[in-house]
Amino acid sequence: MWIANNWKDYEVIDTDNGEKLERWGDYLLVRPDPQVLWKTQRQHKGWKKPNGHYHRSKQGGGSWEFFDLPEQWSIQYRELTFQLKPFSFKHTGLFPEQAVNWDWCAEKIRSAGRPVKVLNLFAYTGGATLSAAAAGASVTHVDASKGMVTWAKENAVSSGLAEAPIRWLVDDCVKFVEREIRRGNKYDGIIMDPPSYGRGPKGETWKIEESIFPFIQLCTQILSEDAIFFLVNSYTTGLQPAVLTYMLSTALKPFGGHVHSEEIGLPVSSNGLVLPCGASGRWEP
């Protein structure tokens, strides 16, 4: 498992019966997590006095309950600063486990010793975008949600990267890649974190089981001949590391190189467990 264990401003403190107790900077949140099937004693005092608690509804979805939590605050990871705010369906605007992928991509960029162009698809609030830009890459950031792209820009400003060479695009990822193929544009690194299900700005539907492999194949057409990485992340239960490996190995066979896929996770500080948080597949030459 690849573990995001370099955080200082974030930690999973404890896990119990479908929930996790987390520290986000100075604030404690309790949020649901479907992977937490075990039960503990909830001995940490934070369980009783969190700053926010997301309660899942039996009818689906859920709602936040707040106790002295600001509308927005920030945390840091290395040289990056992220703006956080609790919003729909338990999220805060950041997936801390992705830091293990940010670090890997940043190291590949720094080691390249040349200008690197990176494409970040389904780019959310820009964690991978900002990490790649801070490492020296020029980045194209694509997400179908205008709100997420705006949020990512705020994170860029907070991180001192307002003037970094980043293109911010609100677009359907598949249609964008199709246009890039026609334009003849190429990228040295591609990052994608596709949703299980989604809709584009004009109602385009995305179902990951049907769409992911054809999309990876499509993206190989804009991968440069001397590309340095291709990263796919998934939170969809059925896409195990082996499945990511087989997809990337098949699609990228003409490029040679090798693929390694693993679960990604977060350490739990109270008991030494590692909380599984999806899986990632990495290709490199």
Task: Give the structural domain span for 104.
Answer: 97-284
Look at residue 206 in the predicted model and tell me its pLDDT.
Answer: 74
Same-domain check for residues 70 and 107: no
Same-domain check for residues 105 and 230: yes
Ramachandran assignment for 96, one of left (phi > 0), alpha (psi -120 to 50 degrees), beta (any other): alpha
Same-domain check for residues 72 and 150: no
Q: What integer best gives the mean pLDDT of the chain? A: 95
Look at residue 280 in the predicted model and tell me its pLDDT.
Answer: 98
Query: How, if at all, do strands 80-84 and 73-77 pair?
Result: antiparallel
Look at residue 198 in the predicted model and tell me its pLDDT.
Answer: 75
Look at residue 203 in the predicted model and tell me its pLDDT.
Answer: 74
Whether residue 194 lies inside any domain: the answer is yes
Same-domain check for residues 247 and 127: yes
Distance CA 40, CA 17 (A): 7
Look at residue 201 in the predicted model and tell me its pLDDT.
Answer: 63
Same-domain check for residues 149 and 227: yes
CATH of residue 55: 2.60.40.1180
Which residues partner with 237 through β-bridges? none
Structural domain count, the chain: 2
3-state secondary structure of 252: coil
Residues of the chain scoring pLDDT < 50: none
Pair 275, 1: CB distance under 8 Å: no
134 to 158, 193, 200: CA distances (angstroms): 13, 20, 29
The model carries a pTM of 0.94
Whether residue 89 lies inside any domain: the answer is no
